[in-house]
Amino acid sequence: MNDSATVKECKTMNAMVYDDYGDASVLRNAEVPIPDRLPGQVLIDVRASSVNPIDYRMRRGEMKGLLPGGFPRIPGYDVSGVIADCAADGPFSVGDRVVAFLDSMRGGASADYAVAAVDVTAAIPDSMSYNEAAAIPLAGTTALQSLRDHGEIAEGKRVLINGASGGVGMFAVQIAKSYNCHVDAVASGDNEDFCRSLGADHFYNYETTDFTNSAETWDLIFDAAGKSGYWDVKEVLNDGGRYVSTEPDAKGMLMTLVTWPMSKSGTVMLAKPNAGDLRTLITLHKKGQLKITIDAIYLFSQLSQAHQHVEDGVERGKVVLTAE
């Protein structure tokens, strides 16, 4: 989306915005002010982003009232690009290649420029493309924090990932394998080969098999798809086991409160932007333990098509937006 003028000469930028809640057609291109970089922040010349279900859920108005401020809104939380402006005494320099998980609740990724706190921004190696990097922040952080912080993953545990072929699940299977766990994956039958290519030891096709009726049991069940609640999976959770869900609805909040003193406990998680976690995921990628599968690539100007694609269901992996 960028033109050749430098950021210091420009006051405005291109962005994809929406002015009211609605379907994907409410997204439009607009000229808006370049965001001000505050102390502790960097300004990123955005090269790529990716679409997450939260983006279309917010656009549809599902989180009405939770977001500060009004319209227009620039959707998106995942950014990769180049530092365009930063503090002279900070950890980054102008021109550094970075990835960021935007920490503003309002998003802001689908634009020529985005601001991010230094502590949610990480350098990316030359071996990682902007498109690969943009796939990581929200989905990768969700998978890592769900397994490590909420699921207390440890070597040798038996782990089940429900929704293993999607944006979050793709990261979760590979992260769990990096802990040397036995990993069972759940997705539609078409994605069996994909899940096994990620390292899954066993596969459940949710169209034909209900893992909650299985004779198997698990130490950690991560419901990345938000499809099987704690009470559905309790019988196949080992004593001392953990259930983690990505669906932060009222039912899930109540479940978290009720089950925390129980031997089999459950929790709903909310991903928290954090540069350290981005660095952990980048290191796994550098070690060859984290492949990033991209389902489709759209231009930023095609954001409504990209949203529609994610709403209709990705085949596998992530939907990425590129500036080129």
Ligand X SMILES: NC(=O)c1ccc[n+]([C@@H]2O[C@H](COP(=O)([O-])OP(=O)(O)OC[C@H]3O[C@@H](n4cnc5c(N)ncnc54)[C@H](OP(=O)(O)O)[C@@H]3O)[C@@H](O)[C@H]2O)c1
227 binds ligand X (CB under 6 A): yes
Q: Which of residues 66-105 bind ligand X (CB under 6 A)?
A: none
In angstroms, the CA 251 to CA 310 distance is: 25
Among 72, 91, 199, 226, binds ligand X (CB under 6 A): 226
The set of residues, in sequence order, having a beta carbon less than 8 Å from that of 5 and lying 6+ positions away, is: none
Quick one: which of 188, 214, 238, 305 contacts ligand X (CB under 6 A)?
188
For the CB of residue 264, give the shortest distance to ligand X in the complex, in Å. 20
Q: Which of 174, 191, 274, 322 binds ligand X (CB under 6 A)?
A: 191
Query: Among residues 37 and 59, whose Cβ is nearest to ligand X?
Result: 59
Supply the minimum distance, in Å, between the C-beta of residue 248 and ligand X.
Answer: 5
Residue 173 in contact with ligand X, rule: CB under 6 A: no
186 binds ligand X (CB under 6 A): yes
What tokens were used for 191?
A: 């994605």
Q: Which conformational region is residue 280 in: left (phi greater than 0), alpha (psi within -120 to 50 degrees), or beta? A: alpha
Among 5, 270, 287, 288, contact with ligand X (rule: CB under 6 A): 270
Of all helices (H) and strands (E), which one includes residue 46? strand 41-51
308 part of the interface to ligand X, by CB under 6 A: no
Number of other residues whose CB lies within 10 A of the CB of residue 153: 23
**Angle at CA 124, nearest 5°, toward 154 and 185?**
35
- Distance in angstroms between the alpha carbons of the first and the last residue of the chain: 7
Does 306 help bind ligand X (rule: CB under 6 A)? no
Stated length of the chain: 324
Tell me the one-letter amino acid at 185. Answer: A
Burial bucket for residue 248 (CB in 10 Å: 0-12, 13-18, 19+): middle
Q: Which is nearer to ligand X, 53 or 107 (CB)?
A: 53
- CB atoms inside a 10 Å sphere around CB 296: 17
Under DSSP, is residue 155 helix (H, G, I), strand (E, B) or coil? coil
Interaction between residue 136 and ligand X (CB under 6 A): no
Q: Residue 298's beta-bridge partner residues?
A: 321
Task: Report the residue number, 128 or 224, with the smaller CB distance to ligand X.
Answer: 224
Among the listed residues 1, 100, 120, 139, the single contact to ligand X using CB under 6 A: 139
Contact flag: residue 271 with ligand X (CB under 6 A) = yes
- Token pair in block for residue 233: 């999976």
Q: Does 168 bind ligand X (CB under 6 A)?
A: yes
- Under rule CB under 6 A, residue 246 binds ligand X: yes
Q: Is 314 in the site for ligand X (CB under 6 A)?
A: yes
Per rule CB under 6 A, is residue 174 in the interface with ligand X?
Answer: no
> DSSP H helical segments within the chain, as ranges?
53-59, 130-134, 137-144, 167-178, 192-198, 230-233, 250-259, 275-286, 303-312
- Give yes or no for residue 187 binding ligand X (CB under 6 A): yes
Closer Cβ to ligand X, 92 or 206, answer by number: 206
Residue 269 near ligand X by CB under 6 A: yes
The encoded tokens of residue 25 equal: 């057609």
Residue 154 C-beta: closest distance to ligand X, Å: 22
Instruction: Give residues in contact with ligand X (CB under 6 A).
Output: 52-54, 138-139, 142, 162-169, 186-188, 191, 206, 224-227, 246, 248, 269-271, 313-314
